[in-house]
Structure 1
Amino acid sequence: MKIRQRTTCQICRQKKISCDGRKPSCGQCLLRNITCPGYPPDWIFISQFAPSNIQTKPILARVAGHSGVTKHPPSQLPGILLNRKTHEPNGSLRSLYHEDLPLDKLIEIIIQGYVPGTDVAAILKGASASTPRICGAWAEVLPDLVKAGNNTALNAAIKAFAFSILVCETQRKIPMATALEAYSVALRSVNDSLKIPNKSSLVQLMAAVMCLLFAELVLPTSLESWTAHLEGLGELMQTREPQFYASGIAHRLFVGARPALIVLKIQSRKASFLASEEWQTAPFQEIIPSPMQALMNEATVIPGIIERMSQEAGITTADRLLTELEALLDRLALWETSFQATPEAPRFWYDGDCIWFDSLTTANGLTHCWAFNVICLTCVGKIVGLFPDLRPFAHISRGMVSQETRRMSMLICRSTKYLMQDKMKLFGPTSIVLPLQTAYDTLKAGGAETERDFACCKEILESALGEKHFLSLFFKGDV
């Protein structure tokens, strides 16, 4: 975690001026005859991977007694903020943010910051947004979950996520220390709920973990902690049968959380439980999947293919994998054709070197479809490189594999500006992570053949990192 200089007062930090760190009042505040707010506590961040003599408890532990399922090993506490002097959680310290925002206001901040372009008032009354997104439905259920019953863990997690959003705002900006304090309290609260059977319902816990997940993403911590939350979320999800997610709040949480879990498995190159037939069909027995969820159904098998490529050898296995990839690429092409089949207007168009879309939903769908295509075609190229005697598909030559990965990677890069608009709030940048990461890695690996395209992609990425600091977690050390 990045530690700010602790000898800079909050006023000097906000005004971006030099602070001499004098106590009880710094020189700048004395000169201006104003009250110096002092200095934040001396924080340290205990990572789940760092050795420590301080015993921290697991945040997403085995859900024993809560659901009757205990087969999953406990995940580790992603991290907790401790006071260096006392080694005690900071929940007892007075918050630096004096305004006591009510829960409905915190939810409003989350919806405004994470589900752009929706009727906030309608969602707060319990109405579902009409526009499907890659990963947004889960936030819309927060009002319903809060109305269903007071839950300390969920309330604390909602506050942590809302405060993380306020850290990035200009008008309502709050100190980073305040957001980190709220996050620490939420971590301990969710952990306590997991240890006590029936203290929270499964859907309340899932929503709380999703709030922590995105609070972790916005705050300057670590990618490892973000993935730890996702792993734990997957374990929580599996404590119920797939049919549990067929309707109601559970279904909306499922379709909202599933894309993030798929992205995690693609990045970790591990097969996902979501690829099994029952997890693809049972949650949609009562509600027909939207085009976005139909695309996610296709993507569930990608992590398993990548994992088998790294574990299995032999021309027979390679031939079987090529057959599976051919079928998947055909289904992705069919999905894209169907998705773009609209008589009214084109789904996207060029504005100079950038691509503009008719909606955020279209941008989400097409950028992810292009990314899944690039991943599959890259797998094809690797297999054929290892086994030159194997032929790629009849309608795709080796040269076309390279051309298509390059073309679709550049489509993704040129879509970045649209998704990085200020009006897309937090959702736009978070939804471009996998596509942009895929395009960047592909063009980088292309060497001299893609040197010019890679330079263009790198320039786009550097601009994105400058505007949205948390994206640096995913591209650490690359640019």
Structure 2
Amino acid sequence: MVGVPGRSKACVTCRTRRKGCDLRTPTCGQCERRGIVCGGYDLYRMWITHTAVPTKKITRIRSFSNRRNNATISSSDAFSTRTAPFQALSPSHPNGMGCYSLATSAHTSNIVELFFNMWNPDNDNASDQMATHHVDGFENMMSSLYVQDEALRLALLAIGTGLLGKKKNDENLVRQGRILYGRGLKEMGNALTDPRRAHSEAILAVPRINGLFEMVFGADKDITVQAQSWLSHARGLITMYTARRPESYIDGVAHNLFKDGRKTVIIRDIRARKASTLNEKPWKTIPWTKHPKTPKDLFMDNLASIPEILSNIDDLA
């Protein structure tokens, strides 16, 4: 942290390797030159405020003192040990000394792990809401991708913190999740202006996580407005897909993200009743050059043709 003697500002990887760090963001030059994953930089801590409340023991002492000495003890002097439920400081809190968050490296790992546990509907502790939106294999990719870009890490941290808040019925944690979500959106904007980050595999996953956050924690009471928020992420996803050629999704993580994520785009196109870009032959064939299609992939191919059918029906009407 800045101003703390002896505390290195280097990235997590360079501190672990005890190497010099050039402090470049989002990944340092040392890690990039050596072809290793940069662990990123510790973000600021989230400070907690506590409101003092009286205890029974102290209240009795105060009453006895009043009877004997007819003295008045101020609440600030009498009560100092017991605290009420905490309140998280938002980045704009007047008592804050900067933009604090839960996003320290260790806490990030714990929150993301909690998100994966609640994501899995086979887990006894799984959230019913998360089970409803389960996607096979997606969580396995996220466990390795979230350390690669800050935008994805904040997105996962936001939804993980919000889910923890709902599980514990703690509105402060849900509020903190929304704060992190806002920060993640800003970081996503920064990533899209950086050509290197914009073409990373991690960025491809961000719109889906943000769309999931809107579905679970959207604050708009008007369901139409809420749906538009989700659709904006779906539009962002198709824009990111088509910014690359179909050949970009032939193999590896990019292939898995594309084949699992195209459902979001197709659903958006069905709602818009406009022909889907993903129904074009190159997008239905080239990404599977090295991998045979599963029954689910074939189903998605058929689903991709529905928006065009709906569009033709509208033209005939």
TM-score range, shorter chain: 0.5 to 0.7
For residue 168 of structure 1, report the CA deviation from its aligned partner: 2.5
1:107 corresponds to which of 109, 112, 116: 112
CA distance in 2, matches of 1:217, 1:251: 25
Aligned partner of 1:153 in structure 2 is 151
What TM-score comes out, normalization by structure 2 length? 0.61
The DSSP-based 3-state class of the residue aligned with 1:116 is coil
| Residue 35 (1) aligns with residue 84 (2) | yes
Change (3 A) 1:34 1:291: same
Given that 2:250 and 2:289 are in contact with CA atoms closer than 8 Å, whether structure 1 keeps it comes out as yes
For residue 174 of structure 1, report the CA deviation from its aligned partner: 5.7
Given that 1:246 and 1:285 are in contact with CA atoms closer than 8 Å, whether structure 2 keeps it comes out as yes
Which shifted more, 180-189 or 259-268? 259-268
CA distance in 1, matches of 2:50, 2:301: 48
Change (3 A) 1:251 1:194: same
The DSSP-based 3-state class of the residue aligned with 2:195 is coil
| Residue 142 (1) aligns with residue 142 (2) | yes
2:207 corresponds to which of 206, 209, 213: 209
| Residue 305 (1) aligns with residue 312 (2) | no
| Residue 116 (1) aligns with residue 113 (2) | no
What TM-score comes out, normalization by structure 1 length? 0.42
For residue 135 of structure 1, report the CA deviation from its aligned partner: 3.3
CA distance in 2, matches of 1:104, 1:38: 22
Aligned partner of 2:64 in structure 1 is none
The DSSP-based 3-state class of the residue aligned with 1:299 is helix
Kindly report the root-mean-square deviation, in angstroms, between the aligned alpha carbons of the 2 structures.
Answer: 3.5
Q: Which has the larger radius of gyration?
A: 2
Given that 1:271 and 1:303 are in contact with CA atoms closer than 8 Å, whether structure 2 keeps it comes out as yes
Change (3 A) 1:301 1:92: farther
Aligned partner of 1:219 in structure 2 is 217
CA distance in 2, matches of 1:114, 1:220: 18
| Residue 251 (1) aligns with residue 255 (2) | yes
CA distance in 2, matches of 1:91, 1:245: 44
CA distance in 2, matches of 1:228, 1:10: 39
CA distance in 1, matches of 2:265, 2:314: 20
| Structure 1 runs not aligned, ≥5 long | 1-8, 12-29, 42-81, 119-132, 314-479
2:236 corresponds to which of 232, 235, 243: 232
**Matches for 1:256-335 after TM superposition, within 5 Å:** 256-313=260-317
**Matches for 1:286-435 after TM superposition, within 5 Å:** 286-313=290-317
Change (3 A) 1:254 1:309: same
AA partner of residue 282 (structure 2): E
CA displacement 1:202-257 (0-9 Å, x = unmatched) = 31111122221212221133221111011011000001111211211001101221
CA displacement 1:11-43 (0-9 Å, x = unmatched) = 9xxxxxxxxxxxxxxxxxx9xx743646987xx
Given that 1:137 and 1:255 are in contact with CA atoms closer than 8 Å, whether structure 2 keeps it comes out as no
Given that 1:206 and 1:233 are in contact with CA atoms closer than 8 Å, whether structure 2 keeps it comes out as yes
CA displacement 1:92-141 (0-9 Å, x = unmatched) = 4434x6987444333322322223338xxxxxxxxxxxxxx983333321
Given that 2:250 and 2:290 are in contact with CA atoms closer than 8 Å, whether structure 1 keeps it comes out as yes
